[in-house]
Amino acid sequence: MHNRLDPEYLAAARQQSVRQALAEDLGQAPGSGPLDPQRDLTAMLVPAGRLATATIITREATLVCGQAWVEEVFRQLRQTGNGLEVALQWRCREGESVDADSLLCELSGPARLLLTGERTALNFLQTLSGTANAARAFVAPLAGSRCQLLDTRKTLPGLRAAQKYAVRVGGGSNHRIGLFDAFLIKENHIAACGGIAEAVNAARRLAPKVPVEVEVESFEELEQALSAGADIIMLDEFADADLPRAVSLTAGRAKLEVSGSVSAERLKTIAAAGVDFISAGAITKHVKAVDLSMRVQL
């Protein structure tokens, strides 16, 4: 849409989310120092130095997403463990569609680290693959139209960047990343500023180069947003029958986004009206994790 997920931002977010997930499993509070894999009581039953191999398979057909997060899990464990490395060999590509029972990855290295990282690695891979699957399912009905699917900020806490990345893997596009990279003026902002025109004018003064989007709930508000010069207008909870009229009234003066109660069944109808974007919180908040399994061989 009007921004992209910066690679450096994504890498930093990935490192932070993996660190937090591992610390949670190991019972380490934020800021408590380096990760300590020896806090994994059950893994400590395995003799130190024992090597093992492992395989990750999927029990269902899926779009594979999240390989870098799996790699980051074992990278961080290696750094804080005994220095021995877990080697990963992927048997599929990121973004590849695979069948049920497919082998996704082969791993080898210290048995303790494989056991400690197993659940964290699978949690990321199953959640991000599930997100990519959901995005792909919403993108498919839009084929042949110029309408783009957008995500929202309705993401799982701590996984904003990861899920927005997964949406892209599934063929969708990113709305604003957070509260910092674009204006989205909603009902409460409008009321606090004294009106749509006042809110848009304030946004232009505050950050002239930043895109300004206004959420509207009626044709009257649509006219006000157009007169105020909004770059993008979000049609919130507009009926399907009203969308062609909204497109006609806008006449290209702003981009139009449809949001609210967006279901898979409505997608073709919405796109056919001629809007530019459809945003759907369901692709990130109603995620069905993919059924994966990791088997360790000692």
Catalytic positions, written as ranges: 119, 154, 186, 215, 236
Judged on CB neighbours under 10 Å (0-12, 13-18, 19+), 164 is buried
Three-point CA angle 110, 112, 115, nearest 5° = 110
Angle between helices 243-250 and 219-228 (to 10 degrees): 20
- Residue in 140, 149, 58, 125 with CA at minimum distance from that of residue 287: 125
The structure tokens listed for 53 are 């191999």
- Closest by CA position to 154, among listed 278, 263, 262, 284: 284
Distance, in Å, from the CA atom of 160 to the CA atom of 14, rounded to the nearest integer, reads 10
Q: Is the dihedral of CA 206, 211, 215, 218 positive or negative?
A: positive
Cβ neighbors of 242 (< 8 A, separation 6 or more) are 219
Which string of b and e fits 215-250 if b means at least 16 CB within 10 Å? bbbeeebbebbbebebbbbbbbebeeeebeebbeeb
**Long-range contacts for 86-91 (Cβ within 8 Å, ≥24 apart)?**
86/110, 86/113, 86/114, 86/117
Instruction: Say how far apart CA 58 and CA 84 lie, in whole Å.
Output: 27
Q: How far apart are CA 256 and CA 231, in angstroms?
A: 9
Q: Cα 33 to chain center, whole Å?
A: 29
